[in-house]
Amino acid sequence: MTAAIVVGAEMPLKRRLRRAERARQLRALGLVLPLFLFLLFTFVIPIAGMIWRSVDDWEVPQVLPHTVAALSDWNGQDLPSETAFAALAGDLQAARAAGTVAVAAKRLNYVVNGSRTVLTSTARNLKTAPEPGTAKATLIGLNPAWGERATWAAIKSASGPVTAYYLLGAVDLTRDVNGAIVATPEDQAIYRDVFARTFTIGFGVTALCLLLGFPVAYLLANLPTAQSNMLMIFVLLPFWTSLLVRTCAWIVILQGEGIVNGSLQWLGVIDEPLRLIYNRFGVYMAMTHVLLPFMILPLYSVMRSISPAYMRAAASLGAPPATAFLRIYLPQTIPGIGAGCLLVFILAIGYYITPALVGGAGDQMISAFIAFYTTETVNWGLASALGAVLLLSTLVLALVYGKLALGRQTTGGLKN
Amino acid sequence: MSANHSTQTASQRYAWLATVVLSSVIFVFLMAPILAIVPLSFSSGAYLTYPLPGFSLRWYEDFLNSPRWMLSLKNSAIIGVASAILSMVLGTLASLGLAQWKSKWKPLVLALVLSPMVVPVVITAVGVYFFFAPLGLTGNYLGLILAHTALATPFVVITVSATLQGFDMTLARAAASLGAPPIMTFRRVILPLILPGLASGALFAFATSFDEVVTVLFLAGPEQRTLPREMFSGIRENISPTITAVAVVLTVISIGLLTMIELLRRRNERLKGNAP
């Protein structure tokens, strides 16, 4: 009897608790939702859109729709049939009327250099629609390029709806006239160099930051709190100073009539000013300065948590100080070294402003090319493809960083 | 290690001395740019070289009397304040939700919320530019405020979440058991206690927007150029002493923000009851 009452009373309570918990979870979800939707609109969809642009091949299908359709069953070996020539003639006249020839011409020019002129001049000179059956002769008469397989292969390769052209181009690959993937001609192959340069500068800056950051973090972690808090200002103040201010200051310090050259000349060490800025040296100097706090802070937070008892234990067991440091202390700092290096490297390879201002033409990193193709030459496909490659590299590294940082339950010295 | 000198061997003392000397040099390296630029901004000469020909405030006057610099200061303030408010509201709500939400999707959502901090700004800027341009969100304040809010919110989420981690949830339960509805519990119990965290989150957000230049390069028209954007063009062309004056003004603002955040952090530590 009593047992029945207890059981009867327990079930609704359990259910009520479950319901209350569900309501709590829904409320929690409701609180996260606004930010989620906001980031969807201002971050996720824009970046997804950028990635889509890196494969989107809309120009030729939109401007030359009938040609694309006529070429769909072309074998690619001989010249296309009369139907394709007629379709092209029709498309070109329509495109000229709509003023869209340049759009397709620009896209085709990426595939075969010179196609731009072929397309625009043909469209301009094609006064009337060719008589049925004479389209082939008419077009070849207007421009002999139409008698070449390569011109048609270019149109075929740009027929969409998606293309690997930009992504291949971002790693210096292209397709030849037969559709096989080959290396880009030497004079146009620059992006592997740019990526290599980006990663080289990233590695260099990371190594310099570790070299300079380690002693500072060690000092701060081993000083009494009051002193280390005081000295921490020297790390935090530059960290908080505007990037532009710091970059500008390095130019002032390192330029031809700058402080460093002035002092060295005054001391008689050099006669001519050294070239310290607008080259790789300036990039390393300024970027190391900007990113050093990102190395010091995670290193410091790890070193702070290392108990001095370990080193004392090592000493009491007879380890010389250097051995104790290398075998006992250093291994315990590895999580901090890992987090700091990854953070600095991730931030370094995405840098744009500092190399743009203190580097020379040969020191520009991948971000500069992304910006260049977006605003200057308007090759959004290539800009997006380069962006996609950079994004992929960053995300892989960030994933590793997340595993490291979450494992230690810290924010890795990020501003907090 | 430094604390107990009596137990140290000579080699340990040398190693420690070397660390101190090396670190001092690195501290100079860290502070050099700021130290170098401050005196130049007070120079009476037009060249950025030492020794200074004399002291003057002419470059500060130049800054204050230039409509271009004043417009950019106004733009930076408007965009900074607006994105700070927006990201504080969105970030605080999300942090409160994330603190209670239990789901296997939580790490994924958290990663998404923090990712604007990791993704290279140029990628965000280019993506937003492609997406915003057809929507008419380039060349006006709104687009910039939205983009800056996206970049700044992770800092608010990190700061507020850290504050909430130190928050004693039994206080909220006590309020509820005394009959306070959730809104009142939030307003009267939770909010006053996490307010320092919210304020530092907002300051972080403001600082992020105030220093941001890459999205401004893509999204801003001539009328929305911010202070860092003007500096960028100024440095590209040639560095006039006016820029050094602007740099000093910006540095003073940074020091102000840093001081406020440090004071808030200490207050928060005190509220949590583990003050040093």
- The verdict on A396 and A288 lying in the same domain is yes
pLDDT tens track for A11-59: 788 888 898 888 888 988 999 999 999 999 999 999 999 999 999 998 9
Residue A361: predicted pLDDT: 87
In a domain, A52, yes or no: no
Residues on chain A touching B146 (C-beta within 8 angstroms): 41-42
Number of domains in chain A: 3
- The domain ranges of chain B are 5-30, 65-272
Task: Tell me the nearest-neighbour CA distance from A152 into chain B, angstroms.
Answer: 31
CB-based contact B36 A253, cutoff 8 Å: yes
Residues A12 and A113 in one domain: no
- The Cβ-side half-sphere exposure at B51, using a 13 Å CA radius, reads 3
A12 is in which domain, residue-wise? Answer: 1-47
Strand partners, A181: A175
Residues A245 and A309 reside in one and the same domain: yes
Q: Which one of B130, B173, B209 would you mutate to disrupt binding with A, by most A Cβ within 10 Å of its Cβ?
A: B130
CATH number of the domain within which A375 lies = 1.10.3720.10
Distance between A309 CA and the closest CA of chain B, angstroms: 10
Burial of A9 (0-12, 13-18, 19+ CB in 10 A): exposed
Say whether both A152 and A23 belong to one domain. Answer: no
SS3 A173: strand
- Whether residue B123 and residue A50 make contact (CB cut-off 8 A), yes or no, is yes
Q: If you average pLDDT over every residue of chain A, what do you get?
A: 87
Task: Give the per-residue pLDDT at A416.
Answer: 33
The alpha carbon of residue B12 is apart from the nearest alpha carbon of chain A, in Å, by: 7
CB contact under 8 A, A223 and B33: no
Q: Which residues pair with A175 in a beta bridge?
A: A181
Residues of B146-174 as b/e, b for ≥16 C-beta within 10 angstroms?
A: bbbbbbbbbbbbbbbbbbbeebeeeebee
Q: What is the 3-state secondary structure (H, E, C) of A109-168?
A: HHHCCCHHHHHHHHHHHCCCCCCCCCHHHHHHHHCHHHHCHHHHHHHHHCCCCECCHHHH
Digit-coded pLDDT (tens) for B184-222: 888 888 888 888 889 999 999 999 999 999 999 999 998
Mean of per-residue pLDDT scores for chain B:
88
The answer to whether A380 contacts B130, with C-beta atoms less than 8 Å apart, is yes
Q: Does A174 map to a domain?
A: no
**A99 has a chain B CB within 8 A of its CB:** no
A18 and A74, same domain (yes or no): no
How distant, in Å, are the alpha carbons of B22, B23, B81 from that of B17? 9, 10, 46
CB contact under 8 A, A244 and B122: no
Per-residue pLDDT reduced to its tens digit, A149-185: 888 888 888 887 888 889 998 888 888 777 788 888 8
Place of tokens 């000579």: B10
Q: Is the pLDDT assigned to residue A7 strictly greater than 90?
A: no
Of A38, A234, A308, the CB nearest to B30: A234
Of A320, A384, A415, the CB nearest to B155: A415
Q: Where are the beta strands (DSSP E) in chain B?
A: none
pLDDT in tens, A231-240: 998 999 998 8
Same domain, A280 and A211: yes
Please, which pLDDT band fits residue A82 given cuts at 50, 70 and 90?
A: confident
- DSSP H helices, B101-140, are 106-114, 121-132
pLDDT in the model for residue A259:
84
Q: Are residues A312 and A212 in the same domain?
A: yes
A182 domain-assigned: no
- Exposed/middle/buried for residue A265 (C-beta within 10 Å: 0-12, 13-18, 19+): middle
Residues present in chain B in total: 276
Question: Residue A60: CB partners within 8 Å, gap ≥ 6?
Answer: A68, A104, A107, A108, A155, A158, A159, A160
Chain A residues with beta carbon closer than 8 angstroms to that of B1: 222, 308, 311
Full DSSP string of A178-201: TS-EEEPPGGG--HHHHHHHHHHH
What chain A residue is nearest to B151 in terms of C-alpha separation?
A43
pLDDT tens track of chain B, all 276 residues? 444 444 567 878 888 899 999 999 999 999 998 888 898 899 888 877 777 888 889 899 999 999 999 999 999 999 999 999 999 999 999 999 998 888 888 888 988 999 998 899 999 999 999 999 999 999 999 999 999 999 999 999 999 998 888 777 788 888 888 988 888 888 888 888 888 889 999 999 999 999 999 999 999 998 999 999 999 999 988 888 899 999 999 999 989 998 998 888 888 777 666 544
Closest CA–CA distance from residue B138 to any residue of chain A (Å) = 13
Q: Which residue of A has its CA nearest to B99?
A: A28
| CB-CB under 8 Å, A240 with B254 | yes
Q: Which residue of A has its CA nearest to B29?
A: A289
> What ipTM score was computed for the predicted complex, to two decimals?
0.89
Same domain, A114 and A155: yes
A330 touches chain B (CB under 8 A): no
- Which among A28, A374, A414 has CB closest to B101? A28
Residue A403 domain flag: yes
Question: Which residues of chain A lie closer than 8 angstroms to B147, CB-CB?
Answer: 42
DSSP one-letter code for A58:
-
Residue A80 near residue A74, CB atoms below 8 Å = yes
A73 and A43 belong to one structural domain:
no
Question: Is the C-alpha dihedral spanning B184, B186, B190, B196 positive or negative?
Answer: negative
Q: Which residue of B has its CA nearest to A246?
A: B33
| A264 and A354 inside one domain | yes
Q: Does A183 contact chain B (CB < 8 Å)?
A: no
Instruction: Examine residue A171 and state whether it is found in any structural domain, yes or no.
Output: no
Contact residues on chain B for A267, CB-CB shorter than 8 A: none
Q: Which fold has domain B65-272?
A: MetI-like fold (1.10.3720)
CB-based contact A387 B123, cutoff 8 Å: yes
Residue A248 to residue B22, Cβ atoms within 8 A: no
Across the strands, what pairs with B55? B43
Chain B residues in contact with A249 by the CB 8 A cut-off are 32-34, 36-37, 247
pLDDT value at A1 more than 60: no
The separation between CA B70 and the C-alpha centre of its own chain, rounded to angstroms, equals 21
B7: nearest CA partner in chain A: A312
